[in-house]
Amino acid sequence: MGEIAAFVNRGASSITPAVVEKVLRHLPQWKLEFTQIREPQFPHLVDQLEFLADAVEDVAEGVYKDLPYYALAQATFALIYAHKRVGIIPDSILNLGRADDSAVVRAVLIQNEKAFALYAASRNLDWSRITSEP
């Protein structure tokens, strides 16, 4: 997981407030896209992406103010990465195409577990259901 975490950290370092604002405009469409993911090997991925998208929306819109910027930047990077069709592993590869997306999302959740657990509690979400498992 160390290499994926380093990849996430590098990617998140390029996330500016302007990038967050641009992603915010696309999130309704991306959330619909994410609901179409059908990967039994990664049963939590859709819920995890929805959770990250909700967190980004809430922070960007000022509804939630306690998420550290690095967690927001990593969540934004994960959403951008999951939206792209070609990543480390292209999404079109059967049974493997979302493995990299899942790894990136898990790295974000694991690195920011305390911050996201507090966010989940503020939204009355069961953090254990937003697992960092694949």
Angle at 58 between CA 6 and CA 82, to 5 degrees: 40
Distance, in Å, from the CA atom of 113 to the CA atom of 106, rounded to the nearest integer, reads: 10
**Given a cut of 70, is residue 112 above it in pLDDT?**
yes
In DSSP notation, the chain reads: -HHHHHHHHHHHTT--HHHHHHHHHHHHHHHHHHHT---TTSTTHHHHHHHHHHHHHHHHTTS---S-HHHHHHHHHHHHHHH-S-SSS-TTSTTTTTHHHHHHHHHHHHHTHHHHHHHHHHTT--GGGS-S--
Could you tell me the pLDDT band of residue 122, with boundaries at 50, 70 and 90?
very high
Quote the distance between the C-alpha of residue 52 and its chain's center. Answer: 4
Distance, in Å, from the CA atom of 47 to the CA atom of 44, rounded to the nearest integer, reads: 5
Give, in order, the Cα–Cα distances in Å from 14 to each of 9, 10, 40: 9, 7, 32
Q: What is the pLDDT of residue 100?
A: 78
| pLDDT tens digit sequence for 26-74 | 999 999 998 987 877 777 889 999 999 999 999 999 999 999 999 999 9
Could you tell me the pLDDT band of residue 90, with boundaries at 50, 70 and 90?
very low
User: Domain spans of the chain?
Assistant: 2-128
Contact at 8 Å (CB) between 34 and 53?
Answer: yes
